[in-house]
Amino acid sequence: MRPLFAALIAGATVVVSAAQPPQFSNAVHAFIKVDAPVIALTNARVIDGTGGPAKESQTLILRGGNIAELGDSARLKAPDGAMVIDLASKSVLPGLVMVHEHLYYPTGPGVYGQLGGSFVRLYLAGGVTTMRTGGNVNGFMDLKLKQLIDQGQQAGPAIDATAPYLNGPNTFQQMRDMKDAAEARRHVDYWADMGATSFKAYMQISRDQLRAAVDEAHKRGLKVTGHLCSVTYAEAAEIGIDNLEHGFLASTDFVADKQPDVCPGPQNGQRTIAALDPNGEPFKALVKKLIDRKIALTSTLTVFETFTPGRPMPPGLDVLLPQLKEQFEQTYQRVAQNQQSLYTTLFPKELVLERAFARAGGLLIAGTDPTGSGGVIPGYSNQRQLELLVEEGFTPVEAIRIGTLNGATYLGRADRVGSIAAGKQADLVVIDGDPSKNIADVRKVETVFKQGVGFDPAKLIASVTRKVGLW
C-alpha cells in the first residue's frame, strides 16, 4: 500500500502544480479583487454542476488554484492565515463552460468586427471561465488571445480555440472557399500546427471535404463540430463528426428534395423543422443515430431568440458603442412587427426538440453565438442561455449542469473543471442569490474565481462599457 500511496501523492502533486494560476500583468491586476495563498469561502450554498440538489452551509478551501477541501461549515474550519469570505445567503456554482462563443460581432452588412479584447472581459464577467470559440473569421486572434490569457497578460476565460471555418464555395466576405478534400486536409494540418484546438465545418462543405477534415483532425486528437446545411445531420453522423451546432435548427435531414452536397437554403430546412413531429419516427430515428454515435448537440437559443417576435429585449446592450446599440434596437423593432415570422413557430419547437434529445440520453451542451443581427452580448447572453434552458423544461440545476459539466465533458476537461469537488480547479462563480430555485439569479454575479483568483465583474464590465465595437 505504501508505494501505491506514494504514487497517488506524486500524481496529486503534478495535478496541483499544473493548475497553478499564472503571474498576472498589471493590466489584469486591475480586475482582481481576491488573491491570497489560501482562501476560505464559508457558509456558502454550493450548486456543484452535477445536476444534484444545492448543499447549504458549505465551506470551500482554495489553495494553489484548486479546491483543496470542501465540506460542511460546521465541520470544516478555515486554516490559520486564510483569507475568509463569508458567503451566507449566497451561492457558489462552477465557472460556466460554454462551447459556441465568438470573438467577433456583426458591425455592418455581412461584416464581423473583431472584438476579442473586449469580449473576453465580458465572458469572464458573466461567469464564463472556459469557452470554445465556435469558428473564427480572423485567423490568429483567437489563438493569440488564448495564449495571452494563459500567460496572465489578458483577463478572460480559458479558450479552446477553433480554427477558421471549413467551408466550400460561399459568399461570406470573411470565409475561405475550399475546393476539394485535399484542401480540407491541408486546412486542418496548417491550423493545428498553428495551435488551433478545434475545428468547425460550415454550411457549404461537401461530404468528402467533411470526411477528410474529420479524419485529419481525429488523427491529431482534435474534434470537429458543424453548422451544417449541405450535409445532413445523419450524413455527418456517419462521417464521424463530434458535435452539431444550433440544436436541430441547422438540420436539413427532412427536406424532401434535398440534393447531395447542396444546401437547400437555411429557411427550407427550418420550415421542415417547424413542422416536425417530435414524437414521429423520423425524428426519433435521427436522435437515436446521434446518440448512438455519441454526437453532442449545442443549444444556442440566445441568438434565435433575437429573431423571434414577442421575446424580451436581450440584456447587456449598454456595453455596445451607441451606434451598435441603436442598430440592434432598430432590428428588434422590425422583428417585433413581423407577426408572420417563421420563428414564431420555430423557436418554441426547437425547445421541444432539444429537450427530447437530452431526455433520450443525448449530450446537450450550451453556447450563445453572438452573431445574427446582433444583440447577443457575451457574458450576459451566457446567463440568458441558462434561463432559456429552464424555459425549455429543465430544472435550474439541470440547466446549470448543461452550461458547466456537460460542456467540460465534451471538451475532455471534466476531470479539472465543470463541477465543484475537492481536487478540481477553483473555477467558481459567486452569486448573490439562489439560482437553484430562481435561475434569473445567475445574473447577480459578485465574484468570478478562475484558478482560485477572484475577478471583479463590475470592473471588467466598466472597462468596456460603451466601447464594445472598438476592439
Q: Tens digits of per-residue pLDDT, 27-52?
A: 999 999 999 999 999 999 999 999 99
pLDDT bucket at 217, cuts 50 / 70 / 90: very high
- The helix/strand/coil state of 365 is strand
CA distance 109 to 218: 36
State yes or no: pLDDT of 16 exceeds 60.
no
Summarised one tens digit per residue, pLDDT across range 340-388 is 999 999 999 999 999 999 999 999 999 999 999 999 999 999 999 999 9
The proportion of the chain whose per-residue pLDDT surpasses 70, expressed as a percent, equals 96
- Tell me what pLDDT residue 30 has: 97
State yes or no: pLDDT of 154 exceeds 90.
yes
450563445: which residue's cell?
Answer: 368
CA distance 40 to 450: 15
- Tell me what pLDDT residue 21 has: 82
Summarised one tens digit per residue, pLDDT across range 234-261 is 999 999 999 999 999 999 999 999 999 9
Mean predicted confidence (pLDDT) in 412-429: 98
State yes or no: pLDDT of 54 exceeds 60.
yes
State yes or no: pLDDT of 1 exceeds 90.
no
CA angle 92, 425, 379 (to 5 degrees): 55
Amino acid letter, 206: S
Q: Of the candidates 441, 433, 448, which has an alpha carbon nearest to the alpha carbon of residue 386?
A: 441
More confident residue, 393 or 22: 393
40 CB-side CA count, 13 A = 17
What percent of the residues of the chain are helix, what percent strand, and what percent coil, each to the nearest 5? 35, 20, 40
**CATH architecture of the domain with range 22-92+427-462:** Roll (2.30)
Summarised one tens digit per residue, pLDDT across range 259-285 is 999 999 989 999 999 999 999 999 999
- Crossing angle, helix 343-359 and helix 380-392, to 10 degrees? 80
The alpha carbon of 25 is separated from its chain's Cα centroid by a whole number of angstroms, namely 26
pLDDT bucket at 101, cuts 50 / 70 / 90: very high
Under a CB-based contact definition with an 8 Å cutoff, are residues 366 and 407 in contact? yes
CB within 8 A of 203, min separation 6: which ones? Answer: 167, 170, 227, 228, 229, 230, 250, 263, 266
CB within 8 A of 57, min separation 6: which ones? Answer: 43, 44, 45, 72, 73, 74
Mean predicted confidence (pLDDT) in 425-449: 98
pLDDT bucket at 111, cuts 50 / 70 / 90: confident
Q: What is the mean pLDDT of the chain?
A: 95
Q: Cβ atoms within 10 A of the Cβ of 374, count?
A: 23
- Tell me what pLDDT residue 3 has: 37
Rg, C-alpha atoms of the chain? 22
Mean predicted confidence (pLDDT) in 425-432: 98
β-partners of residue 454 are 34, 449
**What pTM was estimated for this model as a whole?**
0.95
User: Spelled out in words, what is the top-level CATH class assigned to the domain 96-411?
Assistant: alpha beta
Which element (helix H / strand E) includes 429? strand 428-431
pLDDT bucket at 19, cuts 50 / 70 / 90: low
Domain ranges of the chain: 22-92+427-462, 96-411
β-partners of residue 94 are 428
CA angle 275, 281, 283 (to 5 degrees): 50
Q: Which three cell numbers stand for residue 417?
A: 473543471
The proportion of the chain whose per-residue pLDDT surpasses 90, expressed as a percent, equals 93
Q: Of the candidates 160, 119, 98, which has an alpha carbon nearest to the alpha carbon of residue 383?
A: 98
